Amino acid sequence: MGRRKKEPRNVHRENIVSAASVLFMEKGIAAASMDDIAKAAGYSKATLYVYFENKEEIVSILVLNSMKKLYGYISSALIQHETTKARYDFICRGLVQYQEEFPFYFKMVLDKINIDFESQDYLPEEKETYYIGEEINEKIKTFLLSGMKKGDLRDDLEIMPAIFHFWGMLSGIIQLAANKEEYIKKSMGLSKKQFLESGFSLIYRSIEAVQAEKTERCLK
C-alpha cells in the first residue's frame, strides 16, 4: 500500500493514533506491535514509519491526549463548584472517570515523569505531558489554599507534600478498586462505587479542619 497523499499529514497521524488506542485496549500496549498497529489503521508497515518512528511515540501522544482530558476534568471541578467539599467530590469523580476511560494511561500519567531537559532524549509529547502535569498540580494547590482560607481544610497543610499525598492516596484507592473489584465485593459486600465513596470520605477527613477550628474562624 503506497503512502496516502490526499490528506494532510496530521490526519494520517490521527487515524493511526486512533486505531492504536483501540488496539491497546484490546491487546494491551506491550502485546501490540507496529505490524498490528499498521493493520488496524489500514496502512502498510512502511507507511506507518513515515508518520511515527516507533510505538513509544504513538503511546506518548495517547498519554498526552489523556492528560489533557484529566486537566479538563480537574479544571471543570474547580470552576463549576464553589464549596470545598463539592470541589473535592468532583475532583474524585473526574479521576474515576479518567481511570475508567483511560485505564492504560491512568497509572502512567500519575507516576513520576522524569525528563532531563538538558538532553534531547525525550519526545516533545513527553515534555508537554510533564508541563500539563505541573498545571494540574497548580490547580490542586489552588484548591487546597482556597479550602484552607475558607477554614474548611486544616491550616497546617504543607502544600507541596500535601499535593503529592493527595495524588498518591486518591490514585491508589482508585487503582485498587479497579484491580480488586470482585474481591472487594465478596469480602466486604461493597460495590466499587461504595468502596470508592468510603475511601474518598476517609481521605477528605484527613485534610478537613476539625469542627472547633471551623467555629473559631467563623467567629473571627
What is the C-alpha separation between 4 and 209, in angstroms, rounded? 60
pLDDT digits (tens, 9 = 90+) for 146-185: 999 999 999 999 999 999 899 889 999 999 999 999 999 9
Residue 153 β-bridge partners: 208
Residue 208 β-bridge partners: 153
pTM over 0.85: no
Q: Which grid coordinates are listed for 78? A: 474547580
The answer to whether 4 and 12 have CB atoms below 8 angstroms apart is yes
Q: How far is residue 9 from each of residues 23, 35, 62, 63, 117, measured CA to CA in Å?
A: 21, 20, 17, 20, 28
Does residue 153 sit in helix, strand or coil? strand
What is the C-alpha separation between 159 and 116, in angstroms, rounded? 25
pLDDT digits (tens, 9 = 90+) for 100-155: 988 878 877 665 555 666 666 778 888 888 899 899 999 999 999 999 999 999 99
Domains, the chain, with CATH or none? 1-52 (1.10.10.60), 57-219 (1.10.357.10)
